[in-house]
Structure 1
């Protein structure tokens, strides 16, 4: 292995993370164009318009780079820097811990975390849960897709049509979690490390 294999792996990992984030955000943005008050093709018209706008933006970017090739250096440098940052290995203990390493029942700990993040609401988006985990120094560089896989592994139901503030995307419903069990007195209720 050469000295450059570590940095190259970090950039490749970061590129994959950024690409996944972009894909999820763009898909969610296009999906938000769907109207619930209409049916048939009229309901999906907003999605088609947003898709057309994306195609126009990509084409305009292509034409701009063709007209000013030096712009590609700036774009490449920006992508490399963002990939380097996104590919940073997790340094916080517990961020990459396997499910088997978690103390107690990991599924119950994750349910407790979901109830805490949900608060008084009946639903919560997974991006909100992920942001909560990252605010607590965990799941850095991870995506909603990683969180979905983890919930599926634990058998926790989640759905791509969960609405919060009339915006449907991946989330969890309180009714799907069941009734919360009483937390032991010595445990804190947030414990985000159990969702790693």
Structure 2
């Protein structure tokens, strides 16, 4: 089942990317303004019309849905063959393998000379460094919060409010922060 689930995500991303790139390719670069957008809008209308026709055919002939389902499962099975399987360990231990000082260094690099940064910018910075390739912004948020790094829910950067980090919050966390005492240290005291 994991292979099919991973393959389904791969197939869905590939099909979506193919359709959106085809729609974007309709933009004319020799024109400006609304005239340059006529091509993508025409292609979007064509995709919408084809989806409507396909839905009408499926409503008229519902047994075709079984064939489409089998074709999608086959494509998902094939696409999931060479993909790494998610073991679920990251969700159980979000901070496994993360070094606090390294994370703070990466966050300060992503901040640059600004005093605030969106998590999407931090994730793009991480992926540019070749890390967190399969992470989403939610994955990053969970890992940062598990490390005790405060994430602001509505932080405005360039007038856009979304989840982000403040430099002041990072500065408040000292690099040599105290670790909680182990139970043997508490018993000895």
- What TM-score does the superposition give when structure 1 sets the normalisation length? 0.47
- What TM-score does the superposition give when structure 2 sets the normalisation length? 0.49
The structure having more radius of gyration, on CA atoms, is: 2
Greater RCO, 1 or 2 (C-alpha within 8 Å, sep 6+):
1
